[in-house]
């Protein structure tokens, strides 16, 4: 158990809908990262937050957005969902701003029908 | 941006044999190279990492080597066991940029 929690574990929704994925980092970790893992593919970095502020951006679609709250939990919002958005979404946390060792949560499996 | 290539995509070995997975990276600013193991239904878990000021690091049956000049690094697992079966990911990170680029993963199968 990494200490990172993600909810929900599974999410099934329809095209065009909007969903919110939630992540709670390890106690004391200030950085949160979001990744997308599509079927048979590697991890694609989406975005990083540090202590409430956006710090780095990867290949995140404009339909996706994220935020980190004062209690350091983070939410990833996915809107206007398409079939191709079906994937595992992982959250990871690390203690500092620089992205050294990251601790991954168990992921949220999103299925868009 | 950074590009990480990982080979092979699948690897099957007999229990007790060694397994080697190789990655190359493109960005000379990358200075941190972790390896993650992902078991079915779980998130990736760090198994070993190496920083750019070190050429080799070992932890029991696992070792990682780094060649900064050639921009490649490798994971070595000796005396493989069935529980080593998983997907392994390498990553290259420029720690001041806040981004990690992952390889596409290697599915390792250890046959008893």
Q: How far is A84 from chain B (nearest CA, A)?
A: 18
B7 — contact with chain A (CB < 8 Å)?
no
CB contact under 8 A, A42 and B100: no
B27 part of contact set with chain A, CB < 8 Å: no
> Residue range B52-65: average pLDDT?
93
pLDDT of residue B20: 98
pLDDT score of B89: 96
Residues with Cβ < 8 Å from B27, sequence gap 6 or more? B1, B2, B3, B92, B94, B101
Give mean pLDDT, residues B45-70: 93
**In chain A, which residues have their Cβ closer than 8 Å to the Cβ of B91?**
43
B9-44 residue pLDDT tens? 999 999 999 999 999 999 998 999 999 999 988 899
Q: What is the pLDDT of residue A40?
A: 67
User: How many CB atoms neighbour CB B50 within 10 A?
Assistant: 20
Which range is least confidently modeled, A93-102, B34-43, B51-60? Answer: A93-102
A2 part of contact set with chain B, CB < 8 Å: yes
B105 and A42 in contact by Cβ < 8 A?
yes
State the pLDDT at residue B52: 84
Confidence of residue A82 (pLDDT cuts 50, 70, 90): very high
Contact B95 A45 (CB under 8 A): no
Average confidence (pLDDT) over B53-70 = 93
Phi-psi region of B16 (alpha: psi -120 to 50; beta: other; left: phi over 0): left
Task: Show residues of chain B in contact with A56, CB under 8 Å.
Answer: 97-99
pLDDT digits (tens, 9 = 90+) for A11-35: 999 999 999 999 999 999 999 999 9
> Is pLDDT at A4 greater than 90 in this prediction?
yes
Nearest Cβ partner for B99 among A2, A45, A50: A45
Q: What average pLDDT does chain B have?
A: 93
First to last CA, chain B: 41
Contact A101 B46 (CB under 8 A): yes
Report pLDDT for B99: 75
Termini Cα distance of chain A: 31
Among residues B49, B58, B45, B50, the alpha carbon closest in space to that of B84 is found at B45
């Amino acid at each position: 158990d990494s200490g990172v929690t993600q909810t929900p574990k599974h999410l099934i929704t329809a095209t065009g809908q909007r969903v919110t994925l939630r992540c709670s980092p390890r106690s004391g970790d200030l950085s949160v990262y979001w990744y997308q893992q599509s079927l048979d593919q590697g991890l694609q970095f989406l975005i990083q937050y540090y202590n409430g502020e956006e710090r780095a951006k990867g290949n995140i679609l404009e339909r996706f957005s994220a935020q980190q709250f004062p209690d350091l939990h983070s939410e990833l919002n996915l809107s206007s969902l398409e079939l191709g958005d079906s994937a595992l979404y992982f959250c990871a946390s690390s203690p500092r701003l620089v992205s050294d060792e990251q601790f991954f949560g168990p992921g949220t499996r999103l299925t868009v029908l | 941006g950074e590009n990480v290539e990982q080979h092979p995509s699948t690897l099957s070995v007999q229990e007790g044999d060694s397994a080697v997975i190789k990655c190359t990276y493109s960005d000379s600013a990358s200075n941190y190279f972790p390896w993650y193991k992902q078991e079915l239904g779980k998130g990736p878990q760090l198994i070993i990492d190496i920083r750019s000021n070190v050429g080799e690091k070992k932890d029991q049956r696992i070792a990682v080597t780094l060649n900064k000049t050639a921009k490649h690094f490798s994971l070595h697992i000796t005396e493989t066991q069935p529980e080593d079966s998983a997907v392994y990911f390498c990553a290259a990170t420029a720690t001041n940029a806040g981004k990690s680029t992952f390889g596409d993963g290697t599915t390792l199968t250890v046959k008893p």
